[in-house]
């Protein structure tokens, strides 16, 4: 008798917690309702995951098999993409067959008018020791404002905010020779009619926005340049800033009529928004959204026949901003 | 003594964080029915891929404008001078295995991230889910959308290829066009006139990989928190669903595998696109120089509305004596997007004012239930869409031989006339649908009444054969 | 087989046969002599010119600057051809740019209405009108594709698009460049058809032209190792893929995964 009691006591001590817990668990009320088992769906999920794994391995194998230049991008993408797709499919099967989809109700969260009042009350009552609220708030505002300004001040070092001089600058000076992209000097005799050229000032960084000009040769009789520019176009060669005055793209198009009676006159066109400029009239805008003509570079020909700038541009180059129409220095 | 693989970790966490009640609530958070509520999740999963692929790309990208000469695998560019940034993207595309897949997946994910947000926005708008108490969620969502536009723009501009370089020049021009402050402001950001100081590339880079993603994380966190705090709206599809009571599927176990499935499907679509559809083949464009241009240069689709607007504008600058107050690009590049953002952002309050409805709304409208809102939404969308469509007018000319100037005049009229027409047509249509619904309801009610009547009378011993009106 | 059915089949065959015969005849609109010599000759060229070109380009290529109603109600107007040389004639004829149905229309690639013999005859005739450039002979052993891409970016991409897919310039619809021969490329560059600039040897040397030709020929089959090239046009087709393939797929995924309430 005693031995059996001892044995039962011992076993109960050892396993009783687990037994009781399982009993408790079995006895407690279910939160998530039970659902029927779906062995077939489980198998499908395993198969889908297996296929996904194969694709994932396929990715690794494809990566390893080919050198960088032969590696077919499509194959890599298919392997990884299909691996993902099959995992997604596995989860879909799980969602539809292997978990219980309950429809539960819940109250939408409400407002809490009492709590709102309490919060307001806490804040109000905390001010019991303050007599001159407005003065303190004003002082706080001034401090916050000045500290905020101080915090923002280092941003002025980002760039020349106060000095917009760089926007006005241009590397062109009177006498500078014109070169092409490969630094070959332009002679006036190199410049044909019916085509267009890109030119830069000799010895200047070509990425300078004000450096690039587009150059065309027109029949001198067809020129109607603005007043004061009569001598800017030797032999009918005109040069304008290549940077569109609308938003800053390069004027990369030129059209010339093969048969003038039925075809439009020569024009420089920008490929971004199709602003169109007439080189015969000082690159005035004849189509498109640009608000300003292209600045003109005066040209002259030196004793050896090389093209040289006769001075700076007629106005500031590039897209418009506050000071863009001010006379350049 | 015995270990329980489920209970023990939970006890571990709760002992240290007291989070068990929150866990319980979180596991049983209710999700609404209907697939259209999943569109926001789709955007989120695109974002996850953006982060994952972005981290990878950041390990290979060199944000440097230093000039170098290319001697790599792509034949057509051998011997060409280019920036180190452009070269590093060529290397990602040609030299590093799987680099091109990750790069293309990243770009497709960006395009689809914004597209998903746009459809999600449309769902929220047309079901009135932006109304009180969800206005803040709406505002955060708008901020997310517009910040993502900037993020995408910076991302593809970092590559320094011919196409994106032209786009960056236009960004410079649009910045300059902001009245009065545009010049100093843009000069400060770029550091120098376009193409800017070398450090500008570093600024774009750190904004794209750190500052803006941090902001996006915060906005997404805020957006999702607000959604969870207030719970989703729901369509009134059963008697149980009311303004007070939400009926839905709990996160665990019902919704979790669904969301995970959707996540993997999104990943699948993105990687399949990244593998099968070439996007932004920058080796074909070549490197950028400020004095080069190509025809047919376009921004990514989500900025197409801006190029359309810029091209539609007639030629004028607003000047005061010799000061240029409003350069031309301002209208299409700044005013237009600000108007769109402004209208969308203030719409919850405008609608409140116009309908004098200040109550809380937890039930989603069917679009037909709010004819004025739906009509306005369709009209507004068509306005933006037509401006966007004109941005492709040059390709429409090449494809279908419709004159560019002809299109210009047609679109300048259409962008005002078509939305007006669509407003009235849509409103009419909504009202007609509602009328049809009401008639259906009355019919049903009449039938039920007739059945009830017949049952009662049968029960009382009399059978009536005439239908009750 | 029944009688009505046999008659139907016979009738159908005859009709189709007639159509085939009709197609085999020379296209209408071209005036040609009833007998042509076996080889290209200057006389044939002169005859063809008189019948098809003079109404716009004038007698002996003198050009007509103001429109004059001519034969078949064509208001003739066209540039002089004296001195344009064999190069221009060969180009415009082989591309199908000429004959141009209406003077104000942009010449575009079209079906070539003359036979090769007729083209050679016309070319020799136009060349005889005055001294002008001959047909170029590009040498593809010279030049490199790398130089070609750089030159194309400098001079051509602004109109023709960087991968030669064509585009727009105010007043012109610019053609894509796939499917043109080296000679045609050289001729186009040297003559500058319609609104296109004319690039002489001092601007683009013959070797540089060969490089350009290498590049233009390569645009037929660009390096699309990222997958489907979707037109090599950039963001427009890419946006279409995002909205018409990507988004529908994602919406389908949502519909697959989402569910309606059942209660």
A/B interface, count of CB pairs below 8 Å: 306
Backbone angles phi, psi at A162, to 5 degrees: -75, -30
What is the pLDDT at residue C24? Answer: 44
CA distance A53 to chain B (A): 14
Answer whether A252 sits within 8 Å of C158, measured CB to CB. yes
pTM: 0.91
Residue of A160, A166, A247, A252 best to disrupt the B interface, most CBs of B under 10 A? A247
Q: A211-242 b/e with 16+ CB inside 10 Å = b?
A: bbbbbbbbeeeebebeeeeeebbbebbbbbbb
Average pLDDT, chain B: 93
Burial A38-58 (b: 16+ CB within 10 A, else e): eeeeeebbeebbebbeebbeb
Out of A88, A94, A292, whose CB is closest to B265?
A: A88
Cβ–Cβ below 8 Å for A271 and C167: yes
A305 interface with C at CB cutoff 8 Å: no
Residue B452 · residue B441 · CB < 8 Å: no
**Vertex A297: Cα angle to A294 and A299 (nearest 5):** 145
User: How many angstroms away from the CA of A91 is the closest CA of chain C?
Assistant: 9
Q: What is the pLDDT of residue A141?
A: 97
- The predicted model gives A210-219 an average pLDDT of 97
Q: Is the Cβ pair B179, A156 closer than 8 Å?
A: no
- pLDDT, one tens digit per residue, over A106-139 is 888 888 999 999 999 999 999 889 999 999 999 9
How far is the alpha carbon of B9 from chain C, nearest alpha carbon, in Å?
Answer: 30
**Residue C95: per-residue pLDDT:** 94
* Pairing outcome for strands A178-179 and A104-107: unpaired
Taking the CA of residue C168 and the nearest CA in chain A, the distance in Å comes to 8
Q: How far does Cα B10 stand from its chain's mean position?
A: 38
Residue pair A240/A283 in contact (Cβ under 8 Å)? The answer is yes
* A107 touching chain C per CB within 8 A: no
> What is the model's pLDDT at position B426?
97
Please answer yes or no on whether C192 and A181 come within 8 Å at the CB atom.
no
Chains that touch C (3 or more CB pairs under 8 A): A, B
Closest by Cβ to B180, choosing from A212, A287, A322 = A322
Q: Test C170 with A257 for CB contact under 8 angstroms.
A: no
The percent of residues in chain B predicted with pLDDT above 90, rounded, is 79
**Dist CA B153 CA B164 (whole Å):** 9
Place of tokens 């429409």: B396
State whether CATH 2.102.10.10 applies to domain A178-309: yes
pLDDT of the residue at A22: 62
For chain A, give the percent of residues with pLDDT over 90.
Answer: 76
> ∠ CA C63-C68-C72 to the nearest 5 degrees?
110
Q: Does A58 touch chain B (CB under 8 A)?
A: no
CA distance A315 to A52: 65
Question: pLDDT band at B468, cuts 50/70/90?
Answer: low
For chain A, the chains sharing at least 3 beta-carbon pairs closer than 8 angstroms are B, C
Residue C260 confidence (pLDDT): 65
H helix or E strand, kind and range, residue B271: helix B256-276
What does pLDDT average to over chain A?
92
Nearest CA in chain B to C163: B284
Q: How much is the pLDDT for A246?
A: 97
Mean pLDDT computed over B121-131: 96
- By mean pLDDT, which of A182-196, B239-253, C50-64, C216-230 is the weakest? B239-253
In our burial notation (b when 16+ CB lie closer than 10 A, e otherwise), range A160-183 reads bbeebebbbbbbbeeebbbbbbee
| DSSP secondary structure letter of residue B267 | H
- Cα separation of A290 and A246, whole Å? 4
Contact call for C170 and A264, based on CB within 8 A: yes
For B206-243, the pLDDT digits (tens) are 999 999 999 999 999 999 999 999 888 888 877 777 78
Window C:197-236, CB contacts with B under 8 Å: 215, 218, 222-230, 232-236
What's the pLDDT score for residue C57? Answer: 92
Question: What's residue C25's pLDDT?
Answer: 42
Percent of chain C with pLDDT over 70: 90
Question: Is A92–B73 a contact, with Cβ atoms under 8 angstroms apart?
Answer: no
Question: DSSP letter at A263?
Answer: S
Q: Calculate the dihedral angle through the C-alpha atoms of A200, A206, A211, A217, rounding to the nearest 10 degrees.
A: 30
| Distance from chain centroid for Cα A285 | 30
What's the first-to-final CA gap in chain C, in angstroms? 65
The beta-carbon neighbor of B104 closest among C222, C226, C256 is C226
pLDDT digits (tens, 9 = 90+) for B13-30: 999 999 889 888 888 898
Q: Which CATH superfamily is domain B27-359 in?
A: Cytochrome Bc1 Complex; Chain C (1.20.810.10)
* Cross-chain Cβ contact C192/A276 below 8 Å: no
Contact residues on chain C for B262, CB-CB shorter than 8 A: 253-254, 257
- Kindly list the residues from chain A whose CB atom is less than 8 angstroms away from the CB atom of residue C171: 255, 263-264, 267
Say whether residue A308 is in contact with chain B using an 8 A CB cutoff: no
The continuous run of DSSP H or E covering B76 comes out as none
Nearest residue to A245 via CA among A200, A212, A313, A293: A293
- The DSSP output letter for A111 is P
Pairwise CB contact (< 8 Å): A258 & C159: no
Judge whether A85 is closer than 8 Å to chain B, CB to CB.
yes
Nearest CA in chain A to C189: A195
pLDDT per residue as tens digits for the range A9-49: 888 777 766 566 666 666 678 888 888 888 999 999 999 99
Each residue's pLDDT tens digit, A57-83 = 999 999 999 998 889 999 999 999 999
Contact A253 C169 (CB under 8 A): yes
Helix (H/G/I), strand (E/B), else coil: A185: strand
Contact of A267 with A254, CB cutoff 8 Å: yes
* Rounded average pLDDT over A92-103: 89
Residue of B184, B192, B194 lying closest to A161 (CB–CB): B184
Total CB pairs under 8 A between chain A and C: 89
Tell me which chains share at least 3 CB pairs under 8 Å with chain B: A, C
pLDDT greater than 90 at residue B258 = yes
Mean pLDDT of B146-170: 97
User: Could you write out the DSSP letters of every residue in B14-56?
Assistant: HHHH--HHHHHHHHT-EE-SSGGGGHHHHHHHHHHHHHHHHHH
Q: What are phi and psi of A193, to 5 degrees?
A: -75, 170
Closest CA to B198 of B58, B60, B62, B64: B64
Q: How far apart are CA A223 and CA A239, in angstroms?
A: 13
The minimum CA-CA distance between A276 and chain B, rounded to whole Å, is 11
What does the pLDDT look like over C141-196, one tens digit per residue?
999 999 999 999 999 999 999 999 999 999 999 999 999 999 999 999 999 999 99
**Domain-wise residue ranges, chain B:** 27-359, 366-469
Collect all residues with Cβ–Cβ distance below 8 Å to A193 and sequence separation of at least 6: A216, A217, A218, A219, A236, A256
Q: What is the pLDDT of residue A294?
A: 97
CB contact under 8 A, A289 and B289: no
Q: Name residue A48's beta-bridge partners.
A: none
- Residues on chain C touching A261 (C-beta within 8 angstroms): 65-66, 77
pLDDT, tens digit, for every residue of C82-103? 999 999 999 999 999 998 888 8
Strand partners, B250: B30
For residue A241, which residues of chain B lie inside 8 Å, CB to CB? none
Among A73, A255, A288, select the one facing C225 at the smallest CB separation.
Answer: A73
Q: Which two tokens stand for residue A255?
A: 């059209």
Interface mutation vs chain C, best among B32, B35, B107, B149, most C CBs within 10 Å: B35
Mean local confidence (pLDDT), B301-317: 96
Does A77 sit within 8 Å of C227, measured CB to CB?
Answer: yes
Q: Is A264 in CB contact (< 8 Å) with chain B?
A: no
Q: Give the N- to C-terminal CA distance of chain A in Å, as an integer.
A: 118
Query: CB–CB of A269/A251 below 8 Å?
Result: yes
B25 to chain A: closest CA residue? A106
> Domains in chain C and their CATH numbers?
42-128 (1.10.760.10), 145-218 (1.10.760.10)
The chain B residue lying nearest C256, using CA atoms, is B35
| Residue C27: pLDDT band with limits 50, 70, 90 | very low
Higher confidence at residue B465 or residue B205? B205
Q: Where are the domains of chain A?
A: 36-98, 178-309
Beta bridge partners of B68: B82
Closest partner CB to C158 (pick from A197, A253, A259): A253
**Which residue in chain B is spatially nearest to C225 when comparing CA positions?**
B278
CB within 8 Å: C167 and A259:
no
């Amino acid at each position: 008798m005693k031995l059996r009691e001892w044995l039962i006591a011992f076993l109960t001590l050892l396993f009783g917690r687990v037994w009781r817990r399982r009993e408790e668990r079995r006895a407690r009320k279910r939160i998530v309702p039970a659902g029927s088992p779906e062995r077939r769906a489980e198998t499908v999920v395993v198969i889908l995951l297996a296929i996904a794994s194969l694709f994932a391995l396929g990715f690794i194998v494809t990566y390893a098999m080919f050198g960088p230049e032969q590696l077919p991008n499509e194959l890599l993408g298919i392997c990884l993409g299909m691996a993902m797709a099959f995992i997604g499919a596995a989860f879909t099967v799980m969602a539809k067959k292997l978990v219980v989809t309950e429809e539960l109700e819940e109250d939408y969260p409400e407002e809490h008018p009492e709590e709102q009042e309490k919060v307001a009350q806490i804040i109000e009552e905390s001010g019991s020791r303050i007599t001159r609220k407005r003065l303190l708030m004003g002082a706080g505002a001034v401090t916050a404002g000045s500290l905020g300004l101080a915090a923002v001040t280092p941003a002025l070092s980002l760039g020349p905010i106060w000095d917009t001089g760089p926007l006005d600058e241009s590397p062109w000076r009177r006498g500078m020779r014109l070169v092409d992209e490969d630094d070959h000097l332009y002679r006036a005799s190199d410049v044909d009619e019916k085509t267009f050229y890109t030119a830069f000032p000799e010895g200047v960084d070509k990425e300078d926005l004000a450096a690039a000009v587009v150059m065309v040769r027109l029949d001198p009789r067809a020129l109607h340049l603005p007043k004061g520019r009569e001598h800017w176009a030797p032999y009918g060669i005109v040069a304008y800033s290549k940077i569109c005055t609308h938003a800053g793209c390069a004027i990369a198009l030129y059209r010339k009529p093969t048969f003038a009676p039925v075809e439009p006159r020569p024009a420089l066109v920008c490929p971004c928004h199709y602003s169109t400029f007439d080189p015969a009239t000082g690159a005035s805008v004849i189509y498109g959204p640009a608000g300003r003509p292209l600045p003109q570079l005066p040209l002259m020909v030196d004793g050896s026949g090389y093209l040289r700038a006769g001075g700076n541009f007629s106005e500031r180059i590039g897209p418009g901003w506050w000071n863009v129409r001010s006379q350049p220095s | 003594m015995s270990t329980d693989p489920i209970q023990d970790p939970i006890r571990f966490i709760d002992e240290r964080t007291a989070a068990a009640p929150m866990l319980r609530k979180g596991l049983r958070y209710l999700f609404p029915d209907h697939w259209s509520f999943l569109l926001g999740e789709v955007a989120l999963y695109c974002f996850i891929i953006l982060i994952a692929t972005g981290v990878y790309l950041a390990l290979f990208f060199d944000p440097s404008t230093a000039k170098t000469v290319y001697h790599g695998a792509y034949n057509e560019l051998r011997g060409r001078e280019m920036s180190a940034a452009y070269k590093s993207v060529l290397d990602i595309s040609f030299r590093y295995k799987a680099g091109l897949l990750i790069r293309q997946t990243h770009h497709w994910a960006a395009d689809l991230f914004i597209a998903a947000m746009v459809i999600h926005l449309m769902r929220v708008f047309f079901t009135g889910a932006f109304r009180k108490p969800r206005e803040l969620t709406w505002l955060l969502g708008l901020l997310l959308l517009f910040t993502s536009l900037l993020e995408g723009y910076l991302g593809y501009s970092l590559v320094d290829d011919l196409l994106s370089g032209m786009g960056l020049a236009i960004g410079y021009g649009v910045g300059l066009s902001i009245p009065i402050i545009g010049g100093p402001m843009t000069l400060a950001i770029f550091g120098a006139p376009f193409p800017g100081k070398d450090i500008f590339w570093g600024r774009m880079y750190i904004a794209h990989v750190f500052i803006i993603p941090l902001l996006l994380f915060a906005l997404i966190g805020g957006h999702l928190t607000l959604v969870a705090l207030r719970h989703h709206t729901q369509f009134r599809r059963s008697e149980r669903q009311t303004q007070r009571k939400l009926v839905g599927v709990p996160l665990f176990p019902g919704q979790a595998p669904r969301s995970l499935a959707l996540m993997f499907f999104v990943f699948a679509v993105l990687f399949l696109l990244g593998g099968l559809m070439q996007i932004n083949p920058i080796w074909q464009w070549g490197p950028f120089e400020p004095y080069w241009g190509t025809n047919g240069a376009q921004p990514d689709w989500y900025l197409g509305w801006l190029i359309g607007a810029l091209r539609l504008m007639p030629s004028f600058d607003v000047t005061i004596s010799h000061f240029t107050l409003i350069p031309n690009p301002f209208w299409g590049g700044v005013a237009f997007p600000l108007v769109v953002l402004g209208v969308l952002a203030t719409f919850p309050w405008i609608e409140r004012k116009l309908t004098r409805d200040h109550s809380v709304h937890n039930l989603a409208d069917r679009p037909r239930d709010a004819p004025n809102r739906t009509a306005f939404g369709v009209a507004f969308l068509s306005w933006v869409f037509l401006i966007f469509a004109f941005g492709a007018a040059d390709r429409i000319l090449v494809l279908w031989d419709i004159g560019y100037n002809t299109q210009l005049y047609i679109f300048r009229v259409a962008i005002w006339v078509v939305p007006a027409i669509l407003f009235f047509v849509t409103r009419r249509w909504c009202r007609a649908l509602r009328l049809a619904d009401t008639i259906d309801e009355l019919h049903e009610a009449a039938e039920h009444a007739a059945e009830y009547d017949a049952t009662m009378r049968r029960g009382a011993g009399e059978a009536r054969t005439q239908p009750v009106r | 087989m029944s009688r009505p059915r046999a008659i139907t089949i016979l009738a159908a065959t005859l009709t189709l046969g007639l159509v085939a015969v009709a197609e085999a005849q020379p296209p209408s609109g071209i005036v040609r002599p009833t007998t042509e010599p076996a080889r290209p000759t200057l006389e044939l060229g002169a005859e063809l010119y008189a019948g098809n070109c003079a109404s716009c380009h004038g007698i002996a290529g003198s050009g007509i600057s103001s429109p004059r109603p001519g034969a078949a109600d064509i208001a003739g107007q066209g540039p002089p051809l004296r001195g344009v040389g064999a190069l221009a004639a060969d180009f415009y004829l082989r591309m199908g740019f000429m004959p141009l149905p209406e003077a104000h229309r942009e010449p575009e690639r079209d079906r070539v209405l003359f036979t090769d013999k007729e083209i050679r005859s016309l070319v020799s005739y136009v060349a005889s009108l005055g001294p002008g450039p001959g047909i170029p002979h590009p040498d593809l052993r010279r030049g490199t594709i790398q130089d070609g891409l750089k030159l194309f970016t400098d001079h051509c991409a602004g109109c023709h698009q960087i991968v030669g897919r064509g585009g727009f310039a105010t007043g012109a619809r610019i053609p894509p460049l796939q499917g043109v021969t080296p000679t045609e490329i050289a001729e186009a560059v040297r003559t500058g058809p319609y609104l296109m600039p004319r690039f002489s040897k001092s601007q683009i040397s013959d070797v540089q032209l060969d490089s350009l030709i290498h590049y233009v020929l390569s645009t037929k089959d660009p390096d699309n190792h990222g997958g489907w090239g979707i037109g090599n046009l950039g963001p427009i087709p890419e946006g279409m893929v995002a909205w018409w393939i990507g988004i529908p797929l994602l919406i389908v995924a949502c519909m697959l995964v989402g569910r309606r309430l059942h209660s």
